Amino acid sequence: MERKVQQKVQGFRTQDGAGVSLVRVLGHGTVEEYDPILMLDSFDSINPDEYTAGFPMHPHRGIETISYVYRGQMTHRDSLGNSDTIGDGEVQWMTAGSGILHEEKLPASERLLGVQLWLNLPAKDKMVPPAYHSIKNAEIEEIPLENGKLRLLAGEYEGKKGYAGNYLPLDYYDIHLNAGASVVINTEDTRSVMVFTLLGSATVGGELIQEKTAVKLTTGSHVEIKAGTENAQVLFISSVWLDEAVAWGGPIVMNTKAELQKAFDDLDRGTFLQKEIAY
């Protein structure tokens, strides 16, 4: 059975961090439908003044943040002592777990284009040790499609394997289609699947979806994605439903209000970080 569009959310321009202009797509109002993806922000700018202020040091607990920079650069620094820069087609995967502080700097470039996802952690894994991993271009396989290509950012595609996180499974594809081209992506019936039109419009499951729109799909064994009269770049994201309670406050996502309050109490008391390396 082909997957169809169950819900769609078109992003809106806003600011976050120290004044970074971005397109906010998923958030508090879409938690249940897009489970386990909590948030999706997209960056798309040719004006460095809109993003170079970056995201100053801030805390996270209970989630994983996954940043894909297709064009431009992002520099990460955190309380574990990690410092790393990705650019043009690379990924940062940070497990906040029990707690981490990090900052993201966005150096000036010809164009900043990318996406950050927040992937929820299961209740049993909320307090795992924090960690950071970058997925560089050498680790990302580009798979030719008829009139396009698929970049395997994470997970599996037709027997090929990319980076795998330690908690929820995640298939994450960057699909490039020439004008008028299409691809059929096979899916497991039990997976929670969404797509995001990063550049250009595309027909997904028979419905035309405008640029910068997230689409949650019905269950099924496959979905067809087709570019319109111009080239399209579409992100395909597949994981498993958690179906757990979500208590979300700012950068912290737990399962109960008590756990959320404890996280903020820990911040106030200076006991938030379970593991820290001093600079």
pTM of the full structure: 0.96
For residue 88, give both structure tokens.
């043009």
257-264: long-range contacts (C-beta < 8 A, 24 or more apart)? Answer: 259/62, 259/126, 263/61, 263/62, 263/99
What is the band of 274 on the pLDDT scale with cuts at 50, 70, 90?
Answer: confident
Specify the 3-state DSSP secondary structure of 52.
coil
**Would residue 31 be called left, alpha or beta, if left means φ above 0 and alpha means ψ between -120 and 50 degrees?**
alpha
- Residue 272 identity (one-letter amino acid): F
Q: Are 143 and 185 a contacting pair, CB within 8 Å?
A: no
What is the band of 213 on the pLDDT scale with cuts at 50, 70, 90?
Answer: very high
Across 69-88, average pLDDT: 97
- Give the integer Cα–Cα distance in Å for 42 and 174: 14
- Residue 157 identity (one-letter amino acid): Y
Q: Residues with Cβ < 8 Å from 129, sequence gap 6 or more?
A: 95, 97, 98, 274, 275
HSE, CB side, 13 Å, CA atoms: give it for residue 49. Answer: 0
As a whole number, the mean pLDDT across the chain is 96
Instruction: Tell me how far CA of residue 198 lies from CA of 68, 113, 219, 228, in angstroms.
Output: 11, 9, 23, 14
pLDDT digits (tens, 9 = 90+) for 241-258: 999 999 999 999 999 999
Measured CA angle at 221 (ends 215, 224), to 5 deg? 50
Q: 10 Å Cβ neighbour count for 234?
A: 28
- Give the integer Cα–Cα distance in Å for 226 and 203: 5
- Give the integer Cα–Cα distance in Å for 106 and 63: 22
> What sections of the chain are H helices per DSSP?
31-34, 257-269
121, exposed or middle or buried, with CB in 10 Å at 0-12, 13-18, 19+?
buried
Specify the 3-state DSSP secondary structure of 14.
strand
pLDDT digits (tens, 9 = 90+) for 218-235: 999 999 999 999 999 999
- Give the integer Cα–Cα distance in Å for 151 and 155: 11
- Give the integer Cα–Cα distance in Å for 9 and 26: 7
pLDDT digits (tens, 9 = 90+) for 164-211: 999 999 999 999 999 999 999 999 999 999 999 999 999 999 999 999
pLDDT digits (tens, 9 = 90+) for 88-136: 999 999 999 999 999 999 999 999 999 999 999 999 999 999 999 999 9
Instruction: Tell me how far CA of residue 39 lies from CA of 11, 119, 270, in angstroms.
Output: 11, 8, 27
Partner residues linked to 91 by β-bridges: 68, 135
- Give the integer Cα–Cα distance in Å for 163 and 114: 18
